[in-house]
Amino acid sequence: MSKEPGRWILGLFFIAAGINHFRATPFYVHIMPPSLPAPLLLVLLSGAAEIALGAGLLVKRVSRWAAGGLIALLLAVFPANIHMATHPSVFPEFSPVLLWVRLPLQFVLMAWVWRYARPTVR
């Protein structure tokens, strides 16, 4: 079965998510754990990385490297998701249940991305 449609869906998803870091910067700064330095810089860097790595996923010859980078990025932003789940009163616009359900879904997303990081077996 071809992995192409999923690769394109993921690539475009990450490009859109990265663009959203620049469209809704204050929201992303707000969800940063207070223990992390330079939240604005981290938001802008993670947005740029999502755009670049999402685009890289669309280029077959670098898609494995981009997928590895996306997995690393998903791990790097996981503390923000944990922060949101453990501080639901700071994020009243979201259901606390949704904030917790989101955590394992991040690993599902990593598994999906991993599919494009593995070498193709012929």
57-102 pLDDT, tens digit per residue, is: 999 899 999 999 999 999 999 999 999 999 999 999 999 999 999 9
Is 51 within 8 Å of 18 (Cβ atoms)?
A: yes
Is 55 within 8 Å of 70 (Cβ atoms)?
A: no
Task: Please state, in angstroms and as integers, the Cα–Cα distance from residue 40 to each residue in 8, 36, 52, 79, following that order.
Answer: 29, 10, 18, 15
pTM, whole model, 2 decimals?
A: 0.89
CA distance 87 to 101: 14
pLDDT of 1 reads 53
Q: In the chain, where are the structural domains located?
A: 4-117
Average pLDDT over residues 21-29: 96
For residue 24, which amino acid is it?
A: A
